[in-house]
A and B are shown apart, each in its own frame.
Chain A
């Protein structure tokens, strides 16, 4: 008997389980409760989402073309989710009302997007310079591919929707807000009182009001502010609001990085005779931005989630397309399928970004020590 106990206590798994699950009787009871909880929730969800769910066909083997074919509507109580709505609306979820014969253009843009971003994300990437050049080239390619130009037919932004709008607002909003936010952060730390107060008022104003009021303002008032000929479409109006919103939050993240730079660096640069812009560009910003990247990424996650708000001003982003699908009589009432699917898409993007931010934080720690 004692041999068994001895060999057990040498066992790594046994030690781990003892320490983490059964160290005391309270802990043991907690473990049992947790196991029951996980089992109940897990089996319920897996059953609903996978094992007793319909994908393209129902339990009789028929192709599901509207909700009356869903197994759960044929024999209630026995079957789970009916994912056919996602298949049926896949094109809309991905492209909105983009013409079907032109969706290859969106696909190419989607495929090029990772190439445009990867250069910024990883600083030890081979041929990084080429990737960075591509990053600056990408907006023009994307504009040409998505909107059209010589050789390609024009597709108005009112036809854009789904993931396309979500990604467009997220990526463009972040891209445009970045330079603006650097200026705002520098302005807020400027010694010139007027510039400083303008930046402070702008940042605090934007951070003090909800995004939805900015979207409303842009949607209703932008046409009032502008001359007759200039009339930005709905997507562009939302983009203006999103960019201003993001720039204020990003500026605060960058300000945190700027504050972390020791004063000695600025004084040393002054002593060397560098001008303000030289000091900022070559000494301050490279260090400050490096420190500020994790909080910047966090604001980006926030913005990416907040793009879903544009459905309130009538744009069809991922969530808007989902609600439109539910409003359609052939698919109505399949709320959970649609919302779980959209949640999953957002989760993949946001979780990915938060992992990246965590990876950077770890890397920064090892770099500095």
Chain B
């Protein structure tokens, strides 16, 4: 009787799998319990209190790079948001720059010119085989070796490059600028409807309309028109060298530039490879078929090649965006005040709440990763094959 029960458990797939899973979950729970108990004991022994109340204590340190106001009297919670915004800022800017650079290099890699092709190849091999951290530090030290403020290097006499960053004019929005802004939004909405209308007309009549040119003209000229109607409501505050520093304008700090260059130059190498393989993956017959149909070469690229290449490019592109966002945490090495540097570094050292802070930081990165992959998945669905396939 007993042996047959054991036999049943071992040789019946369902009961065996139930047994194994119960064992695993039991061991896992035991493991977690032991660690939790040990941690509680260790924390008590070292006199470290726990809880999330520290978020409301004033931080006591200053953050030089910030998008929202922050002083040392503000709370750790606010320091968290300053860091989060800085992380998001570098991630967004980095992704945009890396995409532009990556597509450019990827297309050059397929150029018919041997020299261009190989220059791009050398760029890709040298940047993707050197750690991104090393590149960030290298570009940062180049930026720090730029001329001092007194000898700042002028670009078009509006931007000044120095070892304290890039000084540029800052915009001042005067009364009436909001109307210019709203006119832009209305123009964009209008063009979307116009595009639909012209497309349906093209389906009916067969006539092609230069939709792209009409729409770009509307989007560009409407705000310009309103800008002059409202009496030029935008002015620039130019930086002027006074004494030892620039007055007025705004400054893009070398920490930000170093991160931006490091992350986007590194990631662009990977993006260029995905772009290249995406374009190669579209079979030659597609191009030949569209040529024999008499399509213009710009139409071939826009209507035939790119839509099919995007299907291959989007999934690896998503993972490159994720990598860039995660690599933005390396700001700590050069003092860029991102989430890990400010909240995860200084706040942690001041409050000693290692577990709570690392938990918050990790969950934040997890959510950012999740949001990026979700939105890219939605975009990916829109470019994939439609219909039964």
- A residues in contact (CB < 8 Å) with B: 20-21, 23, 27, 30-31, 34-35, 37-38, 191-195, 198, 205, 207-213, 216-217, 220-221, 223-227, 301, 305-306, 308-309, 311-312, 319, 323, 335-336, 339, 342-343, 346-347, 350-351, 354
**A196's closest neighbor in chain B, by CB?**
B21
Contacting pair B138 A220 (CB below 8 A): no
From B124-132, B180-188, B299-307, give the one contacting chain A: B124-132
CB contact under 8 A between A227 and B358, given known A192-B17, A198-B24, A308-B134: no
CB contact under 8 A between A351 and B42, given known A20-B113, A205-B366, A309-B330: no
Contacting pair A34 B116 (CB below 8 A): yes
- How far does the Cβ of B188 sit from chain A's closest Cβ, in whole Å? 34
Contacting pair B20 A226 (CB below 8 A): no
Other-chain contact of B329, A21, A210, A347, A354 (Cβ < 8 Å): A210
- How far does the Cβ of A309 sit from chain B's closest Cβ, in whole Å? 6
CB contact under 8 A between A220 and B112, given known A305-B131, A319-B134, A351-B129: no
Is residue B218 within 8 Å, beta carbon to beta carbon, of the partner chain?
Answer: no
Q: A34-B115, A34-B116, A216-B348 are in contact. List 6 more A-B contacts (CB 8 A).
A: A37-B119, A38-B115, A210-B340, A224-B354, A305-B132, A312-B332
Scan B99-122; emit 1 where CB is below 8 A from any A CB, else 0.
000000000000111111001000
- How far does the Cβ of B341 sit from chain A's closest Cβ, in whole Å? 10
- How far does the Cβ of B389 sit from chain A's closest Cβ, in whole Å? 20
Is residue B58 within 8 Å, beta carbon to beta carbon, of the partner chain?
Answer: no
**B45's closest neighbor in chain A, by CB?**
A228
Is residue B173 within 8 Å, beta carbon to beta carbon, of the partner chain?
Answer: no
Contacting pair B25 A23 (CB below 8 A): no
Q: Give the CA-CA distance A35 to B119 in the complex, in Å.
A: 10
Q: Give the CA-CA distance A354 to B332 in the complex, in Å.
A: 29
Q: Give the CA-CA distance A207 to B138 in the complex, in Å.
A: 27
CB contact under 8 A between A224 and B42, given known A213-B361, A216-B344: yes
Contacting pair A213 B365 (CB below 8 A): yes
Q: Give the CA-CA distance A38 to B112 in the complex, in Å.
A: 18
Q: Give the CA-CA distance A256 to B29 in the complex, in Å.
A: 30
Interface residues of B in 6-43 (CB under 8 A from A): 17, 20-21, 24-25, 28, 35, 38-39, 42-43
Determine the chain B residues whose CB is within 8 A of the CB of A212 once the complex forms.
Answer: 329-330, 332, 340
Contacting pair B24 A221 (CB below 8 A): no
Contacting pair A343 B358 (CB below 8 A): no
Contacting pair A21 B132 (CB below 8 A): no
Contacting pair B38 A21 (CB below 8 A): no
- How far does the Cβ of B136 sit from chain A's closest Cβ, in whole Å? 10
Is residue B333 within 8 Å, beta carbon to beta carbon, of the partner chain?
Answer: yes
Contacting pair A351 B134 (CB below 8 A): no
Determine the chain A residues whose CB is within 8 A of the CB of B75 once the complex forms.
Answer: none
Determine the chain A residues whose CB is within 8 A of the CB of B326 once the complex forms.
Answer: 209-211
Contacting pair B113 A213 (CB below 8 A): no
Contacting pair A308 B113 (CB below 8 A): no
Other-chain contact of A225, B39, B138, B145 (Cβ < 8 Å): B39
- B residues in contact (CB < 8 Å) with A: 17, 20-21, 24-25, 28, 35, 38-39, 42-43, 111-116, 119, 125-126, 128-134, 137-138, 141, 145, 326-327, 329-330, 332-333, 340, 344, 348, 354-355, 358, 361-362, 365-366, 369-370
- How far does the Cβ of B342 sit from chain A's closest Cβ, in whole Å? 14
Determine the chain B residues whose CB is within 8 A of the CB of A225 once the complex forms.
Answer: 35, 38-39, 42
- How far does the Cβ of A147 sit from chain B's closest Cβ, in whole Å? 26
Q: Give the CA-CA distance A326 to B169 in the complex, in Å.
A: 35
Q: Give the CA-CA distance A205 to B366 in the complex, in Å.
A: 7
CB contact under 8 A between A308 and B358, given known A37-B119, A210-B340, A225-B39: no
Determine the chain A residues whose CB is within 8 A of the CB of B129 once the complex forms.
Answer: 301, 305, 346-347, 350-351, 354
Determine the chain B residues whose CB is within 8 A of the CB of A309 once the complex forms.
Answer: 133, 330
Q: Give the CA-CA distance A38 to B116 in the complex, in Å.
A: 10
Q: Give the CA-CA distance A335 to B136 in the complex, in Å.
A: 13
The 4 tightest CB contacts between A and B, nearest first, are: A20-B114, A34-B115, A350-B129, A210-B329
Other-chain contact of B112, A27, A35, A37 (Cβ < 8 Å): A27
Q: Give the CA-CA distance A301 to B270 in the complex, in Å.
A: 13
Determine the chain A residues whose CB is within 8 A of the CB of B141 once the complex forms.
Answer: 335-336, 339
Determine the chain A residues whose CB is within 8 A of the CB of B138 once the complex forms.
Answer: 335-336, 339, 343
Q: Give the CA-CA distance A31 to B114 in the complex, in Å.
A: 8
Q: Give the CA-CA distance A305 to B136 in the complex, in Å.
A: 13
Instruction: Give 18 pairs: A residue, B residue, CB < 8 Å, sorted on A.
Output: A21-B113, A23-B112, A27-B112, A31-B115, A192-B21, A194-B24, A194-B25, A198-B28, A205-B362, A210-B365, A213-B344, A221-B354, A224-B39, A224-B354, A335-B138, A336-B138, A339-B134, A343-B130
Q: Give the CA-CA distance A347 to B134 in the complex, in Å.
A: 11
Contacting pair B131 A220 (CB below 8 A): no
- How far does the Cβ of A327 sit from chain B's closest Cβ, in whole Å? 13
**B125's closest neighbor in chain A, by CB?**
A351
Q: Give the CA-CA distance A319 to B156 in the complex, in Å.
A: 38
**A212's closest neighbor in chain B, by CB?**
B329
Q: Which of B111, B112, B113, B116 has the largest count of A CB atoms less than 10 A from its CB?
A: B113
Q: Give the CA-CA distance A213 to B361 in the complex, in Å.
A: 8
Determine the chain B residues whose CB is within 8 A of the CB of A354 once the complex forms.
Answer: 125, 129
CB contact under 8 A between A191 and B17, given known A20-B112, A23-B112, A312-B332: yes
Determine the chain A residues whose CB is within 8 A of the CB of B137 once the complex forms.
Answer: 319, 323, 339
Contacting pair A208 B125 (CB below 8 A): no
- How far does the Cβ of B384 sit from chain A's closest Cβ, in whole Å? 19
Contacting pair A221 B43 (CB below 8 A): no
Determine the chain A residues whose CB is within 8 A of the CB of B340 once the complex forms.
Answer: 210, 212-213, 216
- How far does the Cβ of B5 sit from chain A's closest Cβ, in whole Å? 21
Determine the chain B residues whose CB is within 8 A of the CB of A301 once the complex forms.
Answer: 129
Contacting pair B38 A194 (CB below 8 A): no
**B327's closest neighbor in chain A, by CB?**
A210
Determine the chain A residues whose CB is within 8 A of the CB of B332 once the complex forms.
Answer: 212, 312
Contacting pair A31 B366 (CB below 8 A): no
Determine the chain A residues whose CB is within 8 A of the CB of B20 once the complex forms.
Answer: 192, 195
Contacting pair B333 A311 (CB below 8 A): yes
Determine the chain B residues whose CB is within 8 A of the CB of A210 once the complex forms.
Answer: 326-327, 329-330, 340, 365
Contacting pair A30 B115 (CB below 8 A): yes
Contacting pair B116 A319 (CB below 8 A): no
Contacting pair A213 B358 (CB below 8 A): yes
**A219's closest neighbor in chain B, by CB?**
B354
**B332's closest neighbor in chain A, by CB?**
A312
